[in-house]
Amino acid sequence: MTAIPQPGAGEPRRPNISSASIQLPAVTTYEQVDNEIIDTLKPTKKWFMALLLAITCLAIGAGSWTYQIHEGLGVAGYNPPVMWGVYIITFVFWVGIGHAGTLISAILYLFRAGFRTTIYRAAEAMTVFAVMTAGLFPIIHIGRPWKFFWLLPYPNWRLLWPQFKSPLVWDVFAILTYLTISTTFLFIGLIPDIAVLRDREKNPTKKAILSALSFGWRNSEAEWRHFVRAYLFLAAFSTPLVLSVHSVVSFDFAMALTPGWHTTIFPPYFVAGAIFSGFAMVWTIIIPIRKWWKLEHYVTLNHLDATAKMVLFTSLVVGLAYMIEFFIAWYGGVEAEQAYFWNRVFGQWWWAAWIMLTCNMILPLSLFSQKLRRNPSWLWILSIFINIGMWFERFVIVVPSLSHEFEPWQWSGYMPTWVDYGILLGSFGWFFMWFLLFIRQLPVFALSEIKEIVPPRMKHGHSHTGGH
Protein backbone atom coordinates (compact mmCIF):
# COMPACT_ATOMS: atom_id res chain seq x y z
CA MET A 1 0.00 0.00 0.00
CA THR A 2 1.49 3.22 -0.97
CA ALA A 3 0.74 6.15 1.16
CA ILE A 4 2.08 9.02 -0.77
CA PRO A 5 0.03 12.05 0.15
CA GLN A 6 -1.36 13.79 -2.86
CA PRO A 7 -3.49 16.84 -3.09
CA GLY A 8 -6.80 16.22 -4.64
CA ALA A 9 -7.84 17.83 -7.88
CA GLY A 10 -8.86 21.41 -7.46
CA GLU A 11 -7.61 21.52 -3.89
CA PRO A 12 -5.64 24.58 -2.91
CA ARG A 13 -1.95 23.86 -2.47
CA ARG A 14 -0.82 23.42 1.10
CA PRO A 15 1.09 26.45 2.28
CA ASN A 16 4.60 26.06 1.11
CA ILE A 17 6.98 27.38 3.66
CA SER A 18 10.00 27.22 1.47
CA SER A 19 11.03 30.22 -0.50
CA ALA A 20 11.31 29.90 -4.21
CA SER A 21 15.08 30.05 -4.22
CA ILE A 22 15.51 27.07 -1.97
CA GLN A 23 14.53 24.24 -4.22
CA LEU A 24 15.72 20.67 -4.39
CA PRO A 25 16.24 20.13 -8.11
CA ALA A 26 17.62 16.62 -7.63
CA VAL A 27 14.58 15.44 -5.73
CA THR A 28 11.69 14.70 -7.99
CA THR A 29 9.26 12.28 -6.39
CA TYR A 30 7.79 11.53 -3.00
CA GLU A 31 8.97 7.95 -3.24
CA GLN A 32 12.48 9.19 -3.71
CA VAL A 33 12.14 11.29 -0.58
CA ASP A 34 10.79 8.39 1.44
CA ASN A 35 13.33 5.90 0.18
CA GLU A 36 16.39 8.05 0.46
CA ILE A 37 15.61 9.51 3.83
CA ILE A 38 14.29 6.37 5.43
CA ASP A 39 17.53 4.81 4.30
CA THR A 40 19.15 6.61 7.23
CA LEU A 41 17.28 4.31 9.59
CA LYS A 42 19.17 1.23 8.45
CA PRO A 43 21.84 0.19 10.91
CA THR A 44 25.34 0.37 9.52
CA LYS A 45 28.67 -0.68 10.94
CA LYS A 46 29.76 2.93 11.17
CA TRP A 47 26.65 3.75 13.13
CA PHE A 48 27.35 0.97 15.61
CA MET A 49 30.94 2.11 15.98
CA ALA A 50 29.79 5.66 16.60
CA LEU A 51 27.24 4.54 19.16
CA LEU A 52 29.83 2.41 20.91
CA LEU A 53 32.15 5.39 21.08
CA ALA A 54 29.40 7.60 22.45
CA ILE A 55 28.47 5.06 25.11
CA THR A 56 32.11 4.65 26.07
CA CYS A 57 32.39 8.38 26.58
CA LEU A 58 29.18 8.35 28.55
CA ALA A 59 30.52 5.55 30.74
CA ILE A 60 33.65 7.56 31.45
CA GLY A 61 31.48 10.51 32.42
CA ALA A 62 29.19 8.41 34.56
CA GLY A 63 32.17 6.84 36.29
CA SER A 64 33.71 10.21 36.96
CA TRP A 65 30.47 11.51 38.35
CA THR A 66 30.02 8.51 40.62
CA TYR A 67 33.52 9.06 41.94
CA GLN A 68 32.78 12.72 42.45
CA ILE A 69 29.57 12.03 44.36
CA HIS A 70 31.39 9.60 46.60
CA GLU A 71 34.45 11.73 47.30
CA GLY A 72 32.95 15.19 47.19
CA LEU A 73 33.28 18.02 44.74
CA GLY A 74 36.88 18.48 45.77
CA VAL A 75 37.96 16.00 43.12
CA ALA A 76 36.98 18.54 40.50
CA GLY A 77 39.22 21.49 39.83
CA TYR A 78 37.47 24.16 41.85
CA ASN A 79 39.85 26.66 43.31
CA PRO A 80 37.98 29.09 45.55
CA PRO A 81 36.88 31.73 44.95
CA VAL A 82 36.37 30.04 41.58
CA MET A 83 33.35 28.19 42.88
CA TRP A 84 31.88 27.56 39.47
CA GLY A 85 33.89 25.77 36.85
CA VAL A 86 33.68 23.31 34.01
CA TYR A 87 30.18 22.14 34.93
CA ILE A 88 28.56 25.56 34.72
CA ILE A 89 30.57 26.36 31.62
CA THR A 90 29.39 23.16 30.00
CA PHE A 91 25.84 23.78 31.18
CA VAL A 92 25.73 27.14 29.45
CA PHE A 93 27.45 25.62 26.43
CA TRP A 94 24.76 22.96 25.98
CA VAL A 95 21.90 25.35 26.65
CA GLY A 96 23.39 27.53 23.95
CA ILE A 97 23.57 24.59 21.56
CA GLY A 98 19.97 23.94 22.37
CA HIS A 99 19.01 27.25 20.95
CA ALA A 100 19.51 26.80 17.27
CA GLY A 101 16.93 24.03 17.01
CA THR A 102 13.99 26.05 18.11
CA LEU A 103 15.27 29.09 16.33
CA ILE A 104 15.39 27.13 13.09
CA SER A 105 12.13 25.31 13.55
CA ALA A 106 10.09 28.14 15.04
CA ILE A 107 11.46 31.57 14.24
CA LEU A 108 12.62 30.70 10.75
CA TYR A 109 9.29 28.95 10.19
CA LEU A 110 7.42 32.09 11.11
CA PHE A 111 9.69 34.11 8.88
CA ARG A 112 9.13 31.64 6.05
CA ALA A 113 12.84 31.05 5.66
CA GLY A 114 12.82 28.08 3.36
CA PHE A 115 16.37 26.93 3.98
CA ARG A 116 15.28 25.57 7.33
CA THR A 117 13.21 22.77 5.83
CA THR A 118 15.90 20.18 5.38
CA ILE A 119 17.86 20.88 8.53
CA TYR A 120 15.20 21.66 11.06
CA ARG A 121 14.48 18.10 12.22
CA ALA A 122 18.11 17.42 13.01
CA ALA A 123 18.37 20.80 14.69
CA GLU A 124 15.29 20.19 16.75
CA ALA A 125 16.42 16.78 17.87
CA MET A 126 19.76 18.35 18.69
CA THR A 127 17.94 20.93 20.79
CA VAL A 128 16.08 18.38 22.83
CA PHE A 129 19.18 16.32 23.49
CA ALA A 130 21.31 19.37 24.18
CA VAL A 131 18.83 20.66 26.73
CA MET A 132 18.67 17.17 28.25
CA THR A 133 22.45 17.27 28.52
CA ALA A 134 22.49 20.79 29.89
CA GLY A 135 19.88 19.88 32.47
CA LEU A 136 22.24 17.34 34.00
CA PHE A 137 24.92 19.87 34.77
CA PRO A 138 23.28 21.89 37.50
CA ILE A 139 22.79 18.58 39.29
CA ILE A 140 26.35 17.46 38.66
CA HIS A 141 27.54 20.84 39.82
CA ILE A 142 25.82 21.11 43.18
CA GLY A 143 27.37 19.92 46.39
CA ARG A 144 24.57 17.61 47.37
CA PRO A 145 23.09 16.38 44.09
CA TRP A 146 20.72 14.04 45.90
CA LYS A 147 18.90 17.15 47.13
CA PHE A 148 18.48 18.80 43.73
CA PHE A 149 14.69 18.55 43.96
CA TRP A 150 14.77 21.26 46.61
CA LEU A 151 15.12 23.69 43.75
CA LEU A 152 11.65 22.68 42.55
CA PRO A 153 8.56 24.28 44.06
CA TYR A 154 6.95 21.04 45.19
CA PRO A 155 4.27 21.09 47.87
CA ASN A 156 5.45 20.13 51.32
CA TRP A 157 3.91 20.51 54.73
CA ARG A 158 6.73 22.70 56.00
CA LEU A 159 5.83 25.21 53.31
CA LEU A 160 9.44 25.45 52.24
CA TRP A 161 9.62 27.08 48.87
CA PRO A 162 12.51 27.93 46.66
CA GLN A 163 13.82 31.48 46.78
CA PHE A 164 12.05 33.05 43.83
CA LYS A 165 14.52 35.91 43.82
CA SER A 166 17.31 33.56 42.86
CA PRO A 167 18.23 33.40 39.18
CA LEU A 168 18.96 29.73 39.71
CA VAL A 169 15.29 29.14 40.37
CA TRP A 170 14.42 31.11 37.25
CA ASP A 171 16.83 28.80 35.49
CA VAL A 172 15.00 25.74 36.65
CA PHE A 173 11.77 27.13 35.25
CA ALA A 174 13.31 28.35 32.03
CA ILE A 175 15.08 25.11 31.28
CA LEU A 176 12.16 22.89 32.16
CA THR A 177 9.77 25.01 30.11
CA TYR A 178 12.10 25.01 27.21
CA LEU A 179 12.62 21.28 27.40
CA THR A 180 8.89 20.68 27.51
CA ILE A 181 8.11 22.94 24.58
CA SER A 182 10.95 21.83 22.39
CA THR A 183 10.13 18.17 23.01
CA THR A 184 6.49 18.78 22.19
CA PHE A 185 7.42 20.73 19.10
CA LEU A 186 9.74 17.99 17.92
CA PHE A 187 7.12 15.35 18.51
CA ILE A 188 4.26 17.20 16.85
CA GLY A 189 6.36 17.74 13.75
CA LEU A 190 7.20 14.06 13.69
CA ILE A 191 3.60 12.81 13.59
CA PRO A 192 3.12 12.64 9.79
CA ASP A 193 6.57 11.14 9.38
CA ILE A 194 5.90 8.48 11.98
CA ALA A 195 2.79 7.66 10.02
CA VAL A 196 4.97 7.03 6.99
CA LEU A 197 7.20 4.72 9.00
CA ARG A 198 4.14 2.97 10.39
CA ASP A 199 2.84 2.29 6.94
CA ARG A 200 6.15 0.81 5.84
CA GLU A 201 6.70 -1.24 8.98
CA LYS A 202 6.30 -5.05 8.76
CA ASN A 203 7.08 -6.00 12.35
CA PRO A 204 3.71 -5.98 14.18
CA THR A 205 5.13 -4.83 17.53
CA LYS A 206 6.96 -1.93 16.01
CA LYS A 207 3.97 -1.15 13.90
CA ALA A 208 1.79 -0.97 17.00
CA ILE A 209 4.23 1.40 18.68
CA LEU A 210 4.47 3.58 15.61
CA SER A 211 0.68 3.58 15.30
CA ALA A 212 0.35 4.82 18.81
CA LEU A 213 3.03 7.46 18.31
CA SER A 214 1.40 8.70 15.13
CA PHE A 215 -1.94 9.05 16.92
CA GLY A 216 -3.59 7.14 14.07
CA TRP A 217 -2.60 9.72 11.51
CA ARG A 218 -4.66 9.10 8.39
CA ASN A 219 -3.39 11.88 6.20
CA SER A 220 -6.79 13.48 5.89
CA GLU A 221 -7.32 17.05 4.99
CA ALA A 222 -8.79 17.86 8.41
CA GLU A 223 -5.77 16.32 10.07
CA TRP A 224 -3.43 18.36 7.98
CA ARG A 225 -5.35 21.51 8.72
CA HIS A 226 -5.16 20.88 12.46
CA PHE A 227 -1.57 19.84 12.19
CA VAL A 228 -0.50 22.97 10.42
CA ARG A 229 -2.43 25.16 12.84
CA ALA A 230 -0.92 23.34 15.82
CA TYR A 231 2.50 23.63 14.32
CA LEU A 232 2.09 27.31 13.70
CA PHE A 233 0.78 27.83 17.22
CA LEU A 234 3.69 25.96 18.76
CA ALA A 235 6.12 27.90 16.61
CA ALA A 236 4.64 31.13 17.87
CA PHE A 237 4.71 29.79 21.41
CA SER A 238 8.34 28.70 21.19
CA THR A 239 9.62 31.90 19.65
CA PRO A 240 9.76 33.98 22.84
CA LEU A 241 11.27 31.01 24.63
CA VAL A 242 14.24 31.07 22.29
CA LEU A 243 14.95 34.53 23.55
CA SER A 244 13.95 34.00 27.14
CA VAL A 245 15.85 30.85 28.01
CA HIS A 246 19.26 32.12 27.33
CA SER A 247 18.36 35.51 28.73
CA VAL A 248 17.48 33.76 31.96
CA VAL A 249 20.67 31.73 31.84
CA SER A 250 22.56 34.96 31.41
CA PHE A 251 20.84 36.31 34.54
CA ASP A 252 22.78 33.72 36.54
CA PHE A 253 25.70 35.97 35.86
CA ALA A 254 24.19 39.37 35.17
CA MET A 255 22.29 39.47 38.47
CA ALA A 256 25.49 38.96 40.46
CA LEU A 257 27.80 41.66 41.75
CA THR A 258 30.87 39.96 40.36
CA PRO A 259 32.99 42.16 38.09
CA GLY A 260 32.66 40.84 34.55
CA TRP A 261 29.20 39.50 35.26
CA HIS A 262 27.37 42.54 36.51
CA THR A 263 26.32 43.92 33.15
CA THR A 264 23.10 44.55 31.30
CA ILE A 265 24.42 43.43 27.94
CA PHE A 266 24.34 39.79 28.89
CA PRO A 267 20.83 38.77 27.73
CA PRO A 268 21.17 39.82 24.06
CA TYR A 269 24.80 38.82 24.06
CA PHE A 270 23.99 35.36 25.37
CA VAL A 271 21.11 34.86 22.93
CA ALA A 272 23.28 35.83 19.98
CA GLY A 273 26.04 33.58 21.24
CA ALA A 274 23.61 30.73 21.69
CA ILE A 275 22.29 31.02 18.14
CA PHE A 276 25.84 31.26 16.90
CA SER A 277 26.94 28.12 18.71
CA GLY A 278 23.70 26.33 17.86
CA PHE A 279 24.20 26.81 14.14
CA ALA A 280 27.77 25.64 14.50
CA MET A 281 26.60 22.47 16.16
CA VAL A 282 24.01 21.98 13.40
CA TRP A 283 26.87 22.05 10.92
CA THR A 284 28.89 19.66 13.05
CA ILE A 285 26.00 17.21 12.83
CA ILE A 286 24.38 17.81 9.47
CA ILE A 287 27.47 18.00 7.28
CA PRO A 288 28.60 14.44 8.11
CA ILE A 289 25.02 13.19 7.81
CA ARG A 290 24.53 14.62 4.33
CA LYS A 291 27.88 13.21 3.27
CA TRP A 292 27.66 9.71 4.81
CA TRP A 293 24.10 9.07 3.69
CA LYS A 294 24.69 10.85 0.40
CA LEU A 295 21.98 13.39 0.99
CA GLU A 296 23.85 16.33 -0.49
CA HIS A 297 20.93 16.96 -2.81
CA TYR A 298 18.66 17.59 0.17
CA VAL A 299 20.90 19.85 2.25
CA THR A 300 22.12 21.78 -0.72
CA LEU A 301 24.94 24.26 -0.85
CA ASN A 302 22.27 26.94 -1.04
CA HIS A 303 21.00 25.86 2.35
CA LEU A 304 24.47 25.81 3.85
CA ASP A 305 25.16 29.19 2.35
CA ALA A 306 22.07 30.56 4.06
CA THR A 307 23.05 29.12 7.45
CA ALA A 308 26.54 30.47 6.99
CA LYS A 309 25.08 33.94 6.62
CA MET A 310 23.25 33.46 9.91
CA VAL A 311 26.49 32.35 11.54
CA LEU A 312 28.36 35.31 10.15
CA PHE A 313 25.67 37.67 11.37
CA THR A 314 25.58 36.24 14.90
CA SER A 315 29.37 36.19 14.99
CA LEU A 316 29.38 39.90 14.28
CA VAL A 317 26.80 40.46 17.01
CA VAL A 318 28.85 38.45 19.48
CA GLY A 319 32.02 40.25 18.48
CA LEU A 320 30.33 43.58 18.95
CA ALA A 321 29.18 42.46 22.39
CA TYR A 322 32.76 41.63 23.33
CA MET A 323 33.90 45.04 22.23
CA ILE A 324 31.10 46.75 24.12
CA GLU A 325 32.00 44.84 27.27
CA PHE A 326 35.54 46.17 27.07
CA PHE A 327 34.32 49.64 26.26
CA ILE A 328 31.88 49.77 29.16
CA ALA A 329 34.50 48.41 31.55
CA TRP A 330 36.75 51.27 30.57
CA TYR A 331 34.01 53.88 30.30
CA GLY A 332 32.23 52.82 33.48
CA GLY A 333 35.29 53.67 35.52
CA VAL A 334 34.75 50.95 38.12
CA GLU A 335 38.23 49.97 39.12
CA ALA A 336 37.49 46.34 39.95
CA GLU A 337 35.82 45.97 36.56
CA GLN A 338 38.73 47.54 34.71
CA ALA A 339 41.27 45.44 36.53
CA TYR A 340 39.26 42.34 35.74
CA PHE A 341 39.03 43.02 32.01
CA TRP A 342 42.71 43.81 31.80
CA ASN A 343 43.46 40.57 33.58
CA ARG A 344 41.09 38.73 31.26
CA VAL A 345 42.71 39.79 28.03
CA PHE A 346 46.30 40.61 28.90
CA GLY A 347 46.81 39.03 32.29
CA GLN A 348 46.39 35.63 33.80
CA TRP A 349 43.72 34.48 31.36
CA TRP A 350 44.98 35.90 28.08
CA TRP A 351 45.15 32.48 26.46
CA ALA A 352 41.49 31.66 27.13
CA ALA A 353 40.35 35.11 26.03
CA TRP A 354 42.33 34.88 22.81
CA ILE A 355 41.04 31.41 22.00
CA MET A 356 37.57 32.88 22.38
CA LEU A 357 38.28 35.97 20.29
CA THR A 358 40.00 34.00 17.54
CA CYS A 359 37.38 31.30 17.23
CA ASN A 360 34.30 33.47 17.60
CA MET A 361 35.30 36.76 16.08
CA ILE A 362 38.17 36.30 13.70
CA LEU A 363 37.70 32.92 12.01
CA PRO A 364 34.00 33.43 11.14
CA LEU A 365 35.00 36.51 9.16
CA SER A 366 36.04 33.98 6.49
CA LEU A 367 32.32 33.58 5.79
CA PHE A 368 32.33 36.86 3.94
CA SER A 369 33.76 34.74 1.15
CA GLN A 370 31.02 32.99 -0.80
CA LYS A 371 33.45 30.31 -1.85
CA LEU A 372 34.01 29.32 1.77
CA ARG A 373 30.33 29.59 2.62
CA ARG A 374 29.70 26.95 -0.03
CA ASN A 375 32.56 24.71 1.06
CA PRO A 376 31.09 22.08 3.44
CA SER A 377 34.53 20.92 4.58
CA TRP A 378 35.48 24.41 5.67
CA LEU A 379 32.13 24.90 7.35
CA TRP A 380 32.62 21.71 9.29
CA ILE A 381 36.12 22.69 10.41
CA LEU A 382 34.86 26.14 11.30
CA SER A 383 32.00 24.64 13.27
CA ILE A 384 34.50 22.80 15.46
CA PHE A 385 36.42 26.01 16.06
CA ILE A 386 33.21 27.81 16.93
CA ASN A 387 32.19 25.07 19.34
CA ILE A 388 35.56 25.36 21.04
CA GLY A 389 35.39 29.13 20.96
CA MET A 390 31.94 29.21 22.47
CA TRP A 391 32.97 26.81 25.23
CA PHE A 392 35.84 29.14 25.96
CA GLU A 393 33.54 32.14 25.86
CA ARG A 394 31.70 30.65 28.81
CA PHE A 395 35.02 29.74 30.42
CA VAL A 396 36.13 33.34 30.07
CA ILE A 397 32.91 34.57 31.60
CA VAL A 398 32.87 32.15 34.52
CA VAL A 399 36.44 31.54 35.59
CA PRO A 400 38.39 34.79 35.15
CA SER A 401 35.57 36.80 36.72
CA LEU A 402 35.49 34.68 39.83
CA SER A 403 39.24 34.47 40.11
CA HIS A 404 39.72 38.21 40.09
CA GLU A 405 37.05 39.89 42.14
CA PHE A 406 36.95 42.69 44.66
CA GLU A 407 39.13 41.12 47.31
CA PRO A 408 42.74 40.88 46.06
CA TRP A 409 43.71 38.57 48.90
CA GLN A 410 41.35 35.99 47.47
CA TRP A 411 42.50 36.07 43.87
CA SER A 412 43.34 32.67 42.54
CA GLY A 413 43.79 30.45 39.53
CA TYR A 414 41.85 27.52 38.21
CA MET A 415 42.74 24.26 36.53
CA PRO A 416 40.24 21.47 35.85
CA THR A 417 41.07 17.93 36.87
CA TRP A 418 40.51 14.64 35.08
CA VAL A 419 37.11 14.42 36.75
CA ASP A 420 36.02 17.65 35.07
CA TYR A 421 37.29 16.45 31.72
CA GLY A 422 35.71 13.02 32.23
CA ILE A 423 32.31 14.52 32.87
CA LEU A 424 32.71 16.95 29.98
CA LEU A 425 33.52 14.02 27.71
CA GLY A 426 30.61 12.12 29.20
CA SER A 427 28.25 14.93 28.26
CA PHE A 428 29.25 14.56 24.62
CA GLY A 429 28.78 10.81 24.94
CA TRP A 430 25.32 11.32 26.41
CA PHE A 431 24.33 13.80 23.73
CA PHE A 432 25.58 11.75 20.78
CA MET A 433 24.19 8.55 22.19
CA TRP A 434 20.71 10.04 22.13
CA PHE A 435 21.25 11.58 18.75
CA LEU A 436 22.54 8.36 17.22
CA LEU A 437 19.63 6.42 18.66
CA PHE A 438 17.31 9.06 17.26
CA ILE A 439 18.59 8.91 13.70
CA ARG A 440 18.29 5.13 13.78
CA GLN A 441 14.63 5.24 14.83
CA LEU A 442 13.10 8.34 13.29
CA PRO A 443 13.72 10.29 10.12
CA VAL A 444 16.35 12.90 10.72
CA PHE A 445 15.03 14.91 7.75
CA ALA A 446 11.43 16.02 7.84
CA LEU A 447 9.71 13.84 5.23
CA SER A 448 6.48 15.74 5.06
CA GLU A 449 8.02 19.16 4.81
CA ILE A 450 10.51 18.13 2.17
CA LYS A 451 7.67 16.72 0.17
CA GLU A 452 6.12 20.15 0.27
CA ILE A 453 9.04 21.43 -1.77
CA VAL A 454 8.99 18.52 -4.18
CA PRO A 455 6.57 19.00 -7.07
CA PRO A 456 3.56 16.83 -6.21
CA ARG A 457 2.55 14.01 -8.54
CA MET A 458 -0.79 14.90 -10.00
CA LYS A 459 -3.67 12.49 -9.83
CA HIS A 460 -3.62 11.73 -13.53
CA GLY A 461 0.09 11.45 -13.97
CA HIS A 462 0.82 15.01 -14.95
CA SER A 463 4.38 15.62 -14.07
CA HIS A 464 4.26 19.36 -14.07
CA THR A 465 2.80 21.42 -11.28
CA GLY A 466 0.89 23.97 -13.18
CA GLY A 467 -2.55 22.44 -12.65
CA HIS A 468 -5.42 24.02 -14.32
Partner 1 sequence: MSQDVTDTTPTEGVKRREFLKVLGATSAAATVVGCSSDKVEKLIPYVVSPDNTVPGVSTYYATTCRECAAGCGLLVETRDGRAIKAEGNPEHPVNHGALCARGQAALQGLYNPDRFRSPMVRQGDKLVATTWDKAIQTLQAKLGEAKSKGTAKEAVFINQHEQGSFPSFLDSWLAGYGMPGAISYDAEAPLGAIAANKAAYSTSWPKLDFQAAKLVVSFGADFLDGWGMGVTTQVDFSEARAKLEGGPRAIYVGARRSLTGLNSDSWIPARPGASAIVAQALLAAVGGKGGASLKQAADAAGVSVASLESLANELKSLKPSLIIAGGNAENDTETALAVAELNKALGNVGITIKPAEGYNTYEGTASHASVREAASRMADGKVAIAFVRGANPAHTLQGAVKFADAFKKVGFKVSFSSYPDETTSLCDLVLPDHHALESWGDAETVKGTLSLQQPTMDPVFDTRQTADVLIAVAKGDPTMASKMPADYRTVIAARLGGNAGLTAALPTGMGKGSALPHPAAKTVSAVTGGGLAKSKGEYFLHVYQSPVLGDGRGANKPWLQELPDPVNKIAWQTVIELHPETATKLNIEEGDHATVTTSTGLVTAPVYLYIGLRPDTVAIQAGRGHNAYGRYADGCGVNPMSLLPVAEDGKSGATLLAGTKAGVTKATGASRLVTTEGSGRQHGRGIARALTVADLMAGKINPEKEEFVGQAKVGFLPGLRSPVANDAQGELGDPKSKDKGQYDPNHWSGVAKRRWAMTIDLARCTGCSACVTACYSENNIPTVGATHQGAQVMPDRTGFGANITRSREMAWIRLERYFEIDREPKDVEWNPDFETRVVPMMCQHCGNAPCEPVCPVYATYHSPDGLNVQVYNRCVGTRYCSNNCPYKVRYFNWFGYGEPNRTQYAFPEPLHWQLNPDVTVRGKGVMEKCSFCVQRIKEAENRASLEKREMQPDEFTTACAQACPSRAIIFGDAADDRWTVAKMVKDERAYHVFEELNTYTAVVYLQKVTHPSASAPAKA
Pick one of 5, 7, 63, 162: the residue that binds partner 1 (CB under 8 A): 162
CA distance 375 to 305: 9
3-state SS, 268-329, equals HHHHHHHHHHHHHHHHHHHHHHHHHCCCCCCCCHHHHHHHHHHHHHHHHHHHHHHHHHHHHH
Closest residue by Cα to residue 77 from 423, 430, 427:
423
3-state secondary structure of 79: strand
* 337 touches partner 1 by CB under 8 A: no
The window from 41-49, 79-87, 214-222, 233-241 that contacts partner 1 (CB under 8 A) reads 79-87
- In the set 83, 208, 228, 365, which binds partner 1 (CB under 8 A)? 83
Q: Which is nearer to partner 1, 75 or 209 (CB)?
A: 75
Instruction: Answer for the pair 279, 100: CB distance below 8 angstroms, yes or no.
Output: yes
- Residue 365: which of 419, 415, 441, 314 has the closest Cα? 314
The smaller minimum CB distance to partner 1, of residues 50 and 402, is found at 402
Under the binding rule (CB under 8 A), the answer on residue 80 touching partner 1 is yes
Residue 151 binding partner 1, by CB under 8 A: yes
Peptide bond into 81 cis (omega under 30): yes
Among 23, 56, 166, 177, binds partner 1 (CB under 8 A): 166
Tell me how far apart the alpha carbons of residues 80 and 68 are, in angstroms, rounded to a whole number: 17
335 touches partner 1 by CB under 8 A? yes
167 near partner 1 (CB under 8 A): yes
Site size with partner 1, rule: CB under 8 A:
53
**Is residue 330 involved in binding partner 1 (CB under 8 A)?**
no
- Residue 328 near partner 1 by CB under 8 A: no
Residue 71 lies near partner 1 (rule: CB under 8 A): yes
Does residue 387 bind partner 1 (CB under 8 A)? no
Rule CB under 8 A: is residue 203 a binding residue for partner 1?
A: no
Q: Is 141 in the site for partner 1 (CB under 8 A)?
A: yes
CB 389 within 8 A of CB 70: no
The nearer residue to partner 1, 68 or 182, going by C-beta atoms, is 68
Q: What SS3 state is found at 82?
A: strand
Closest CA to 364 of 279, 243, 267: 279
Among 22, 50, 77, 394, binds partner 1 (CB under 8 A): 77
Distances from the Cα of 32 to the Cαs of 4, 13, 210, 300, 451, in angstroms?
11, 21, 22, 16, 10
Residue 380 makes contact with partner 1 by CB under 8 A: no
Positions in 249-308 near partner 1 (CB under 8 A) = 252, 255-258
Assess 338 for contact with partner 1 (CB under 8 A): no
Judged by CB under 8 A, the residue of 19, 56, 79, 441 near partner 1 is: 79
Contact 393, 89 (CB under 8 A): no
Q: Of 159, 205, 461, 464, which one interacts with partner 1 (CB under 8 A)?
A: 159
Find all residues with CB under 8 Å of 96, minimum gap 6, and list them.
246, 270, 273, 274, 277, 278, 390, 394
d(CA 129, CA 285): 13
52 is a contact residue toward partner 1 (CB under 8 A): no
80, amino acid identity = P
Instruction: Say if residues 211 and 191 touch (Cβ distance below 8 Å).
Output: no
Beta carbon nearer to partner 1, 262 or 309: 262
Check residue 75 for interaction with partner 1 (CB under 8 A): yes
Tell me which residues touch partner 1 (CB under 8 A): 71-75, 77-81, 83-84, 138, 141-144, 147-148, 150-151, 159-163, 165-169, 172, 252, 255-258, 335-336, 339, 402, 405-412, 415-418
